[in-house]
Amino acid sequence: MLALGKLLELTLAGREPAEKTQLTVEGVRMRWLAEGALEVRPPEARDNGTDLLLSAGIHGNETAPIELLDELIHAIARGELKPRARILFLFGNPEAMRRGERYVEQDVNRLFNGRHEQSGGSEALRACELERLAASFFSLPDRYRLHYDLHTAIRGSKIEQFALYPWKEGRQHSRRELVRLHKAGMEAVLLQNKSSIVFSAYTYDKLDAEAFTLELGKARPFGQNQQVNLAPLKATLEQLIEGKEALVGDELDGLKLFSVAREIIKHSDAFRLNLPADIENFTVLDKGFVLAEDLADSRWVVEEEGARIIFPNPKVKNGLRAGILIVPTTGDGLV
């Protein structure tokens, strides 16, 4: 197998490949761009006009999606997968991956859309580099642009696999994209309604890609992801890579849609989240429940019908989101 097919091994070892560009027997060009970054380009005659960005390891301990991308890269290098799309594979936070930690000093997935400019350190530099790599990849005109940023969660979830769909003023969410996500195994999609500082929000907002954060189960160490069923997602990605996708209809039967009611922002060290430490994502909260308290005049009381909590984390830094209150929604407004 080509050395560049071992991108994960190179990344975990902190090594650069001796050859930065290699060709498969199928004429597919694999090019190492930076640490954890591999561009795959099909022969020109086979290119179907799709640019597919697949990222994982933005949090270094979320290993199931890292292993999935590794499998896809190996299959391409061996000639088993025959791309018709251009692909950029990104392992987001190599140093955290090597340590088996979520991050080293800063959460990389809170440093996009210009946020890294307000900070310093290696992870702010990495976020800047990831933006640069994505912008360069998505710079070709008249292409279909799609970005899946793959994650696993730090806690259990009543809905195990779900997606977050970013927001941009003047742009509507796509029904076709939701159909594809459902086919890929997503049980729910959160339709966001404000700008964000995560990686998928950057590519959606600034680079006009269709972009999603995919949550694929609970985070576990390398080699311990047998319980995470990524078969539907893997099949969908293989079809996108090979240009063999067949989407049928536009019905969303069985796909749960949610919208953001409120974000819970931690303002100070006095912040208290009144939830059990092991509460699962998508847990339903009763109306009237005092969800969180901060300084004397700051408290969050559940007022919404059918409200649920996702990503509760009282340990985030001050000024960051400590949870999201979501409510069920319909598909009205999709295009």
Task: Say if residues 52 and 240 touch (Cβ distance below 8 Å).
Answer: yes
Task: Tell me, yes or no, if 71 is annotated catalytic.
Answer: no
| Distance of alpha carbon 35 from alpha carbon 93, whole angstroms | 9
* Residues contacting residue 216 through CB under 8 Å, at least 6 positions apart: 64, 65, 150, 151, 152, 160, 161, 228, 230, 233
Task: Say if residues 29 and 123 touch (Cβ distance below 8 Å).
Answer: no
Please check if 151 is assigned to a binding site: yes
Please check if 62 is assigned to a binding site: yes
* Residues contacting residue 226 through CB under 8 Å, at least 6 positions apart: none
* Residues contacting residue 23 through CB under 8 Å, at least 6 positions apart: 29, 30
Among residues 20, 55, 24, which one has the least CA distance to residue 42? 24
Query: Helix axis angle, 231-242 relative to 63-77, nearest 10°?
Result: 40
User: Burial letters for 98-130: b for 16+ Cβ neighbours within 10 Å, e otherwise?
Assistant: eeeebbbebbbbbbbbebbeeeeeebbebbbbb
HSE at residue 12, side-chain half, CA atoms within 13 A, is: 16
CA 78 to chain CA centroid, Å, is 26
As given in the structure block, the two tokens for residue 173 are 């969410």
Q: Which of 131, 177, 215, 280 is catalytic?
A: 215
Please check if 173 is assigned to a binding site: no
DSSP per-residue string spanning 203-245: HHHHS--EEEEEEEEE---TT--TTS--HHHHHHHHHHHHT--
HSE at residue 266, side-chain half, CA atoms within 13 A, is: 18
As given in the structure block, the two tokens for residue 200 are 């998928």
Give strand pairing partners of 162.
Answer: 188, 215
| Distance of alpha carbon 265 from alpha carbon 152, whole angstroms | 22
Output the known binding site. 59, 62, 151
Output the known binding site for Zn(2+). 59, 62, 151
Catalytic residues: 215
